[in-house]
Amino acid sequence: MHSITSRWPHQGSIKVEWNLGKRCNYDCSYCPSVIHDNSSPHTDIDILKKAVGQLINLGKPIRLSFTGGEPTVHPKFKELLAYCKHVGVSWISVTTNGTLPAEFYRALPIEQIVFSIHFEYNWLRVVDTIKKVNAVANVNVIAQIMALDSKMDQVLQARAIMLQEHIPSTVRRIRWTQGDHDVFDDMRYNLRDLEWIKEQESTVKENTVIILKEEPDMPRLMHANDIIKLKKNQFKGWTCNAGIESLMINWDGDVHRATCRVGGSLGNIYEGNFVAPSEPVTCDRNFCTCAADIPLTKYENNSN
């Protein structure tokens, strides 16, 4: 490959992955304690609103993607969304485990909702909620099927339901290893299941444009999750627009260029000392393992 960019005209905006808090009503076996618990305090709504103001002041269109933990457990979540719309945030996505009633999700002033299906809990109830929300055309619905190795029968069933209902979905391998974003524990899967996962192309529209050095005039489209599964995600030494096209806010307000945290901390937006970068960064990771980071504009340096 020679370069990668988003299929959509997002290069002039900033996608913000916002981990709203560690608090979650689930305790999945594969989710590390560094990103979830059932006791962390909720960040004060006034602090969150001030953070939104700092993002708006960056002077570019802001696209917010709320995650966690479980973002919907924040008691002021609806108020925060309403404030974001009030100050001019035009696109908001929420990633959730789908345990609230469908009516709650239908009423949110957002453009996209990503339901993560976790099979250690009542996943069929969540699937029913997804179907009900998808029946209303005011929000883009995506199902993220978390392919737990010990629950593969249910994983196949969930995928079949999504295909039957024409609900866009992705099949995600589980990453158990804490602290190492380069590692997927593929050895936990038997070979048949692993091959099945890799064969499941995302039914969400392709979001990434790939330019090959040998075919510069023939761009190819792929979805970020498929790029990861097929291990076409090796960009070490490449120049990447992480920090220019994206930011990641940690649960404690610490800000990084992207979910990979390449380039180190940019300060704390809750404490008011966050400074946005003005230049791209050179990737130092062996693999780009987050679907939010893959479509960021990046290109292979001539020296590589």
* Res. 71 pLDDT band, cuts 50 70 90: very high
| Alpha-carbon Rg for the chain in angstroms | 19
List the beta bridge partners of residue 129.
none
Q: Return the sign of the alpha-carbon dihedral for residues 1, 289, 9, 58.
A: negative
Chain segment 3-35, per-residue pLDDT in tens: 999 999 999 999 999 999 999 999 999 888 888
pLDDT at 162 over 50: yes
Tokens of 92: 């908001």
Q: Average pLDDT for residues 142-147, to the nearest whole number?
A: 97
Give the whole-angstrom CA distance, residue 60 versus residue 255.
17
Domain ranges of the chain: 12-205+242-271
Q: Looking at residues 91-113, what average pLDDT do you find? A: 97
In the predicted model, is pLDDT for residue 186 greater than 90? no
Q: 181: pLDDT confidence band, cut at 50, 70 and 90? A: very low
Q: Which residue has the higher pLDDT, 220 or 302?
A: 220
Taking alpha carbons only, the member of 190, 173, 283, 179 closest to residue 231 is 173
Q: Which conformational region is residue 47 in: left (phi greater than 0), alpha (psi within -120 to 50 degrees), or beta?
A: alpha
pLDDT at 117: 98
- Token look-up 């609103």 returns 49
Could you give the dihedral angle defined by the CA atoms of residues 220, 221, 224 and 230, in that order, rounded to the nearest 10 degrees? -50
Position 111 scores a pLDDT of 97
The alpha carbon dihedral of 109, 8, 198, 2 has a sign of: negative
Measure the CA–CA gap between 108 and 105, rounded to whole angstroms: 5
Place of tokens 């995650």: 67
- Domain 12-205+242-271 fold is TIM Barrel (3.20.20)
Which amino acid, residue 159? R
> What's the chain's average pLDDT?
93
Token duo for residue 281? 């960064």
Q: pLDDT tens digits, residue range 204-248?
A: 999 999 998 777 888 999 999 999 888 889 999 999 999 999 999
- What is the per-residue pLDDT for 184? 60
- Predicted TM-score (pTM) of the model is 0.93
- List of long-range contacts for 112-117, beta carbons under 8 Å, 24+ apart: 112/139, 112/140, 112/141, 112/142, 113/139, 113/140, 113/141, 113/142, 114/142, 114/143, 114/144, 115/141, 115/142, 115/143, 115/144, 116/144, 116/146, 117/143, 117/144, 117/145, 117/146, 117/158
Mean pLDDT of 93-110: 97
The alpha carbon of residue 196 and the mean position of all alpha carbons in its chain are separated, in whole angstroms, by 23
